[in-house]
Amino acid sequence: MSTSNDPGYLGYQPTLQPLKLTTGASFVQTIQPSDGAVFPAGTQVSIVLTAPGGTSIGAWSANVSSTTATWTVPAATCDEIPTNSRYTMLVTYPTSPATTYAWYAGTVIRT
């Protein structure tokens, strides 16, 4: 079966983009909902990191308001993330049951 908008896969596709970390610098990022939308109360956004071999490194949770999700991760934490690690930015909406989307995914590059 095919539709006129068939993207060639099933499921939600995150935007594939590298996450750039600079040695000695903090990771600072702000994202906003598009087109005047807002994050519902209780929305969670995090960046989940895995090492090149697939071992979990941890997650960086955003501070979420109705209009922004913001990260400020200290340089000492960022400097521990190896090149070619993987990340996925997950957003979880407070629906019943909760709905989680992978918004962004990719590799970690270092400068």
Asked if residue 1 has pLDDT above 80, the reply is no
Distances, alpha carbon 38 to alpha carbons 26, 27, 48, 92, 110, in Å: 27, 24, 23, 14, 32
- Please state the rounded mean pLDDT for residues 97-107: 96
Confidence of residue 95 (pLDDT cuts 50, 70, 90): very high
- Please state the rounded mean pLDDT for residues 71-95: 97
Is the model more confident about 2 or about 20? 20
Tens of pLDDT, residue by residue over 5-38, are 666 778 889 999 999 999 999 999 999 998 989 9
What pTM did the predictor assign?
A: 0.88
Tens of pLDDT, residue by residue over 32-48, are 998 989 999 999 999 99
Both tokens of 73, joined, read 């991760």
Q: What topology is assigned to 15-110 in CATH? A: Immunoglobulin-like (2.60.40)
Half-sphere exposure of residue 106, counting CA atoms within 13 Å on the CB side? Answer: 12
Confidence of residue 77 (pLDDT cuts 50, 70, 90): very high
